[in-house]
Amino acid sequence: MTFLQSKSFQRALKKNAPLYLLFLPTIAFYLIFKYAPMGGVLIAFKAYNFRDGIWNSPWVGWEHFELLFQSTRTVLVIWNTFKLSMLSLIISFPFPILLAILLNEVRKMWFRRAVQTIVYLPHFFSWVIIGGMVATIFSMQSSLLNHVITRVYGEPIPFMYQPGSWTAIFIGSGIWKEMGFSAIIYLAALSTIDPALYEAASIDGAGKLRKIWSITLPGISSTVVLVFILSLGRVMEVGFDHVYNLQNNAVASVSEVISTYIYAVGIQGGQFSLTTAMGLFESVIGFILVLSANWGARKLGHGLF
């Protein structure tokens, strides 16, 4: 008798049938929208055209990948993507952790809930709204900031039109939008720490900073490592909405990334094979980074798999 025919399996199946039914939409979602489109990766190795379709279009092998790395534009796009993503990861990664620790130390619940609501709210705004707010704050003509600068120094500063200041605004707006919502994970991890540890530390005379360093941070270290590994997998995925709503021609040298390149060249320009090759390259790099980060984490005893 096989396992599928065993009475224990049949009982478990009957008992959990409602749960399996609830899980079916999730399985269908991943099969339809995540796994089925993987067949389109073949476009990267073909001279794709609508008439012949994916399967009948002629093979060209690695031709599109060679074109990618022979073009100075695509090399710049890859570098911009990596630079913006790594800067965002390194600079923004500690902020949700710090926010979660600070909120965890607050004892006035009404104040804690008010702060949580305020910092969570930007996450639910679209980047169109955030981009409009950023443009209003930093525009040369109508922003209050430049109005004050003009009154003091005589002329406005083109924040949105200089590569350095644009990069800072890009990273800062990302932190502001996602910091509060990302802190939820760490708040959940903080809730699992045994309060007796803090009581024992207080008896030993430990202050707030010592408790945070010796109890809080070690208590959430596995969660931090897990989130970091997952974040590394998205290093080459700078969000299209974020960049598209902030970029302009003056800062194209630093703001054109893989997602905007795929939109401009693939969707608007119709070069589907070339941009599919770019997307596949992006996914492979992300996969390698995840494996590398997990290998390093396993050496420290916090591996994801």
Full-model pTM: 0.84
Mean pLDDT computed over every residue of the chain: 86
pLDDT of residue 257: 92
pLDDT of residue 6: 66
Closest alpha carbon to 157 in 171, 169, 141 = 141
Closest alpha carbon to 198 in 184, 214, 185 = 214
Chain-centroid distance, C-alpha 22: 28
Return the structure tokens found at 125: 């705004």
57-299: CATH number? 1.10.3720.10
Cα 55 to Cα 39: distance, rounded to the nearest angstrom:
10
- Confidence at 304, pLDDT banded by 50, 70, 90: low
Residue spans per domain, the chain: 57-299
Q: pLDDT, tens digit, for every residue of 105-132?
A: 888 888 888 888 899 999 999 999 998 8
Q: pLDDT, tens digit, for every residue of 156-196?
A: 888 889 999 999 999 999 999 999 988 999 998 998 888 88
In angstroms, what CA-CA distances link 123 with 3, 127, 134, 237, 270?
46, 9, 15, 18, 33
pLDDT of residue 4: 53
Name the residue with higher pLDDT: 184 or 299: 184
pLDDT of residue 145: 85
Q: pLDDT, tens digit, for every residue of 239-250?
A: 889 999 998 888
Convert the chain into a string of H (helix), E (strand) and C (coil). Answer: CCHHHCHHHHHHHHHCHHHHHHHHHHHHHHHHHHHHHHHHHHHHHECCCCCCHHHHCCECCCHHHHHHHHCHHHHHHHHHHHHHHHHHHHHHCHHHHHHHHHHHHCCCHHHHHHHHHHHHHHHHCCHHHHHHHHHHHHCCCCCHHHHHHHHHHCCCCCHHHCHHHHHHHHHHHHHHHHHHHHHHHHHHHHCCCCHHHHHHHHHCCCCHHHHHHHHHHHHCHHHHHHHHHHHHCCCCCCCHHHHHCCCCHHHHHHHCCHHHHHHHHHHHCCCHHHHHHHHHHHHHHHHHHHHHHHHHHHHCCCCCC
Q: Indicate whether 5 pLDDT > 80.
A: no
User: Residue 51, class by beta-carbon neighbours within 10 Å (0-12 exposed, 13-18 middle, 19+ buried)?
Assistant: exposed
- Confidence at 154, pLDDT banded by 50, 70, 90: confident
Closest alpha carbon to 7 in 15, 20, 18 = 15
Q: pLDDT, tens digit, for every residue of 20-60?
A: 888 899 999 999 988 888 888 889 999 888 888 888 888 98
Q: pLDDT, tens digit, for every residue of 188-210?
A: 899 888 888 888 888 888 888 88
Return the structure tokens found at 85: 């993503």
Q: pLDDT, tens digit, for every residue of 223-272?
A: 888 888 878 877 777 888 999 999 888 898 899 999 999 999 888 888 88
User: Residue 28, class by beta-carbon neighbours within 10 Å (0-12 exposed, 13-18 middle, 19+ buried)?
Assistant: exposed
Q: Indicate whether 143 pLDDT > 70.
A: yes
